[in-house]
Amino acid sequence: MVVDQIHDLQQVYRKILHSMSRPGNISKLNSITEKMNEEFPCNHAFLLSALTFIDAEVTFHVIANQEKKARLTEIISSYTMAKTEAIDKADFILMLQDAPEYQIEKAFIECKTGNLHDPQLSATWIVECDLLSNSTGLSLNGPGINGAQQLQTGLHHSFWQKRNEKVNEYPLGIDVILADFSSQVACIPRTTSVTITEVS
Amino acid sequence: MITKPHFAFFDEGSKKEIRRATLKAVAIPGYQVPFASREMPIARGWGTGGLQLTLSLIGKDDVLKVIDQGADESVNAVSIKKLVRHTTGVSVTEDTGEANIIQSRHRIPEKQLREDQILVLQVPNPEPLRKVEAREYLTKRMHAEDDYSGAWLLLFEQIMKYGRMSTGAEHPVYVNGRYMMTPSPIPRFDNPKMHQSKALILLGAGREKKIFAVPPYTDVKSLAFDDYPFAVESFEGKACKLCGSTDVFLDEIIDPDTGERSYQCNDTSFCMEHLNAKEKEEVENSYV
């Protein structure tokens, strides 16, 4: 991998920050993912998002099928020195596209949402998805959005239903970073109201 | 042996810590996210929070502007620019429109900010409830319980005493209808600029180890009573003696010998831009 840990990850951070402050706004990471020639168990934008925020100070938990889970856990640990942790303690939940439904459900039930004194002690989800676009699927409202924003994530509507349940008690909740196979990222923080407009 | 400084001064672990806190701050508008504030080569209280945010954000292609009380050339602004430039090599500018990261102390630029710009504000006292309660764990509990009666009472006491809300700067605001936040010591004049701002606003308090944020297009409402509405400083009938601007925040200058009062734009780059535009117009007209 020829990703520059200083300058490339700074670029990724700025793109994710831009997308997090403007929910549903899609940012492209092509200029950086082009340099990545290795095969990973996840897409390149997903890996870059994880490398930007994870280090030895935080913990993570991978939800994916057994084989990919082991490989990705090893890769993230060796690149970042971070430790994997149980879902209810992990700071980052890394969810791959082929994650089994029961594992996603378990993660939604157990993951951290912070507490009223420290709502920042919540899990950030990095989610791999097929293709992000600003066509209909989800209608987003809230801080960072001028009016309304459309987002199509390709994720099953049950994912967004569970996410909505998880952010019901604002300021408690989870923040989601979505990374697709076309090197794009988009974010949905806990403040965003997500309405499912199309049932997939 | 003199070693070259690391890009943007920090090691990557420090940047990640600040970046994680910033992301949470954006996700919970107005909430003060605690972070492991680093020792900086400038004194705490001199903009270390803002500087740490700037250093965590900045990349090779960014253009930085630093202002202190509206001025680009004051000591604090110049020192911070020198440090960032020395450790990153980025270009610095005085032109608000040219910059994509603007670090500021005590002012929001007069020129409206764009969507691609980030405003970083230096915050000495991030806790709007500190005058009400000295203990941090209790103010945290007040934020948790949405209990802001103490802050309202402070304003009420000011009205009882002076007949109006007498906050000079740091007039508290509600962000997204949930958290009460200090907008940093900007004058009341600048508070409305935070409401539905096009640019992302990040606030950093290095000494107090807090980062908070106002995402773009977010409601920011200054505290006010129905019968005592929020009002910005009034400069009615006054204009900048240099450029003639009237709808800007003005500094009052008193001549020590004559006692004569005059007014000048507080935002020096805005004033300069106006003066240059006026001069250009004059030159063009005189040629004809």
Q: Per residue of chain B (288 residues), give pLDDT as tens.
A: 777 889 999 999 999 999 999 999 999 999 999 999 999 999 888 899 999 999 999 999 999 999 999 999 999 999 999 999 999 999 999 999 999 999 999 999 999 999 999 999 999 999 999 999 999 999 999 999 999 999 999 999 999 999 999 998 999 999 999 999 999 999 999 999 999 999 999 999 999 999 999 999 999 999 999 999 999 999 999 999 999 999 999 999 999 999 999 999 999 999 999 999 988 988 888 876
Residue A171: CA count within 13 A, CB half-sphere: 27
Same domain, yes or no: B171 and B72:
yes
Backbone dihedral region for residue B100 (phi beyond 0: left; psi -120 to 50: alpha; all else: beta): alpha
Each residue of A29-46: pLDDT tens digit?
999 999 998 899 999 999
Establish whether B59 is a catalytic residue: no
Domain count, chain B: 2
Give chain A's contact residues with B (Cβ, < 8 Å).
5-7, 9-11, 13-14, 16-18, 20-22, 52-58, 115-120, 122, 124, 143-146, 170-171, 175, 189-191
Q: Which of B222, B251, B269 is the last residue of a domain?
A: B222
Same domain, yes or no: B114 and B257:
no
Strand order in the sheet with A149-152: A149-152, A133-141, A193-196
Q: Which of B181, B201, B222 is the last residue of a domain?
A: B222
- Residue B53 counted as domain residue: yes
Same domain, yes or no: B172 and B278:
no
Cα angle for residues B199, B172, B228 (degrees, 5° grid): 115
Same domain, yes or no: B175 and B87:
yes
Establish whether B265 is a catalytic residue: yes
Distance of CA A44 to the CA centre of its chain: 13
Which residue, among B10, B6, B115, B113, has the nearest Cα to B54 in the 3D structure? B10
* pTM of structure: 0.96
- Residue B96 counted as domain residue: yes
Binned at pLDDT 50, 70 and 90, residue A200 comes out as low
Q: Which of B222, B248, B272 is the last residue of a domain?
A: B222
CB pairs under 8 A between A and B: 104
Same domain, yes or no: B199 and B66:
yes
Give A172 to chain B, closest Cα distance, Å.
Answer: 9
Domain that holds residue B65: 12-222
8 A C-beta contact, residue B92 and residue B63: yes
CATH number at B99 reads: 3.40.50.11310
Which residue, among B14, B120, B26, has the nearest Cα to B64 in the 3D structure? B120
Backbone dihedral region for residue B151 (phi beyond 0: left; psi -120 to 50: alpha; all else: beta): alpha
Which residue, among B136, B168, B170, B130, has the nearest Cα to B150 in the 3D structure? B130
Same domain, yes or no: B39 and B163:
yes
Cα angle for residues A20, A21, A22 (degrees, 5° grid): 90
What is the signed CA dihedral for B102, B107, B110, B113, rounded to 10 degrees? Answer: 40
- Residue B115 counted as domain residue: yes
- How many Å apart are CA B120 and CA B100, to the nearest integer? 11
Same domain, yes or no: B131 and B269:
no
Same domain, yes or no: B259 and B134:
no
What is the signed CA dihedral for B182, B184, B189, B193, rounded to 10 degrees? Answer: -80
Cβ <8 Å between A144 and B27: no
Phi, psi of A151 (to 5 degrees): -145, 135
Mean pLDDT across the stretch A180-185?
Answer: 97
Strand order in the sheet with A27-28: A27-28, A184-188, A175-180, A124-129, A92-95, A59-63, A83-84
Same domain, yes or no: B210 and B70:
yes
Same domain, yes or no: B165 and B193:
yes
Which residue, among B174, B273, B166, has the nearest Cα to B214 in the 3D structure? B174
Please list every residue in chain B whose beta carbon sits closer than 8 Å to the beta carbon of residue A18.
200
8 A C-beta contact, residue B67 and residue B104: yes
Please list every residue in chain B whose beta carbon sits closer than 8 Å to the beta carbon of residue A191.
27-29, 176, 215
Each residue of B235-256: pLDDT tens digit?
999 999 999 999 999 999 999 9
Distance of CA B106 to the CA centre of its chain: 5
- Residue B1 counted as domain residue: no
A7-196 CATH fold: Rossmann fold (3.40.50)
- Residue B77 counted as domain residue: yes
Cβ <8 Å between A16 and B20: no
